DNA sequence: GGCGGATGGTTCGCATACGAAACATCTCTG
DNA sequence: CAGAGATGTTTCGTATGCGAACCATCCGCC
């Protein structure tokens, strides 16, 4: 018989709900804020994310982009379509691997990116930076632990 | 000259990024899991959320629903349209306020809901419940603090 | 060299998701 | 009680976001 999970006092349901609430709130609010910021430049949230992601490195393959913004290729194809339509990015087939498409900023895209000072998750990060180092470390430790545990459960299933 | 913000030791950027990473990961993963569970019953994530939200209370106005699932009325209208098409819910004008639409479960919807044992955020909650009470309390305290701070910043702007 | 499977992108159909505008109804104020 | 503004819902247009199917290309292996 497999050993049972160690028995310990479970935290109260109220605490758990508060945590779920807070994560949901932080996530949706940060998305809302990013969207608002992007809107001032005629962009959407994901488009701003792509722009700022390309700015330092010049170009990325579509797959690299979708991995970084946590979306599927089929989603990113559409986002790039619209940004290309606006003349912000351009597509170029890779020479070494003809399947790969490199996405790069146009001059217009580079200019626009340079004019926007804030990163997409900036407000989120700003608030986090106001925590004491001890709290930040605690938060990091506990959340990372949670993430690992979720991964375990997912992979088992 | 306005007073400067109080100086304190900022947590390292690496910690912050890890926290942002973890929150994003937890959120997207919990959504993915919910979606998978819902799919086994021919539902989508939000539809399962609505079903389970209506189950204990019987009926809610469309606005109450959209507040609880953190979406706009125009979004929820569509979700309810599709659930109504499937015969899971029904609309009824309120007698006391003719503007209000009450959304209630049909027999079919109630049966389906009863057959699904897990709440939408259940996996999330399950992993949280494995934390020590101390860690859970810490997490709750820090995240709640973050949420309040975000609210402050948002309301000022 | 060639074939079978893996990988990178696109297309398609559908379900969110949002804001703006339209519409009905309610409520407050005078 | 009439008009003005607020509130609840829907409609519309557009942008994600996903999985499945598809095509082109690459890679491993015989």
Over chain B (157 residues), the average pLDDT of each successive run of 10 is 46 65 78 85 94 94 94 97 98 96 97 79 68 83 82 64
pLDDT at A5: 44
How many degrees, rounded to 5, is the angle at CA B147 between CA B129 and CA A53? 100
Among the partner residues B19, B20, B128, nearest to A19 by beta-carbon distance: B128
pLDDT at B13: 60
Q: What is the mean pLDDT of chain B?
A: 83
Q: What is the mean pLDDT of chain A?
A: 83
B135 in reach of chain A (CB within 8 A): yes
Beta-carbon separation of B8 and A153 below 8 A: no
Among the partner residues A12, A27, A131, nearest to B142 by beta-carbon distance: A131
Mean pLDDT, to the nearest integer, of A37-64? 94
| Residue A36 CA, nucleotide C18 C1', distance (Å) | 12
| Selected residue with higher pLDDT from A122 and B56 | B56
| Selected residue with higher pLDDT from B68 and A32 | B68
Among the partner residues A8, A22, A70, nearest to B146 by beta-carbon distance: A22
pLDDT band at A11 (very low <50, low <70, confident <90, very high): low
| Selected residue with higher pLDDT from A31 and A6 | A31
Mean pLDDT, to the nearest integer, of A131-150? 83
pLDDT at B135: 86
Beta-carbon separation of A23 and B27 below 8 A: yes
Q: Which residues contact A142 (CB under 8 A, 6 or more apart)?
A: B131, B135, B138, B139
CA distance A104 to A102: 6
| Selected residue with higher pLDDT from A1 and A20 | A20
Beta-carbon separation of B128 and A154 below 8 A: no
Long-range contacts of A128-135 (CB under 8 A, 24+ apart): A128/B11, A128/B16, A128/B19, A128/B20, A128/B146, A129/B10, A129/B11, A129/B16, A130/B149, A131/B11, A131/B142, A131/B145, A131/B146, A132/B8, A132/B9, A132/B11, A133/B9, A133/B10, A133/B11, A133/B12, A135/B11, A135/B142, A135/B145
Beta-carbon separation of B139 and A139 below 8 A: yes
To the nearest whole Å, the CA of A141 is away from the closest chain B CA by 9
| Selected residue with higher pLDDT from A127 and B40 | B40
A-B contacts at Cβ under 8 angstroms = 159
Which nucleotide's C1' is closest to B75 (Cα)?
C17
Beta-carbon separation of B143 and A20 below 8 A: no
**Which B positions 23-62 lie with beta carbon below 8 A of chain A?**
23-30, 33
pLDDT at B136: 82
> Would the pLDDT of A27 be above 70?
yes
pLDDT at A7: 43
């Amino acid at each position: 018989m497999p050993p049972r999970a160690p028995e310990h006092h479970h935290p109260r349901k109220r605490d758990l709900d508060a945590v779920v609430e807070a994560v949901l709130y932080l996530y949706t609010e940060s998305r809302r804020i990013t969207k608002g910021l992007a809107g001032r430049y005629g962009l959407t949230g994901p488009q701003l994310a792509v722009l700022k992601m390309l700015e330092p490195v010049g170009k990325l393959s579509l797959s690299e982009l979708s991995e970084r913004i946590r979306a599927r290729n089929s989603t990113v194809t559409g986002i790039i379509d619209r940004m290309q339509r606006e003349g912000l990015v351009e597509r170029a087939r890779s020479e070494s691997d003809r399947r790969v498409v490199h996405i790069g900023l146009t001059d217009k895209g580079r200019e626009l990116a340079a004019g926007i000072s804030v990163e997409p998750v900036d407000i989120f990060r700003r608030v986090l930076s106001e925590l004491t180092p001890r709290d930040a470390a605690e938060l990091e430790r506990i959340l990372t632990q949670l993430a690992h545990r979720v991964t375990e459960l997912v992979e088992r299933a």
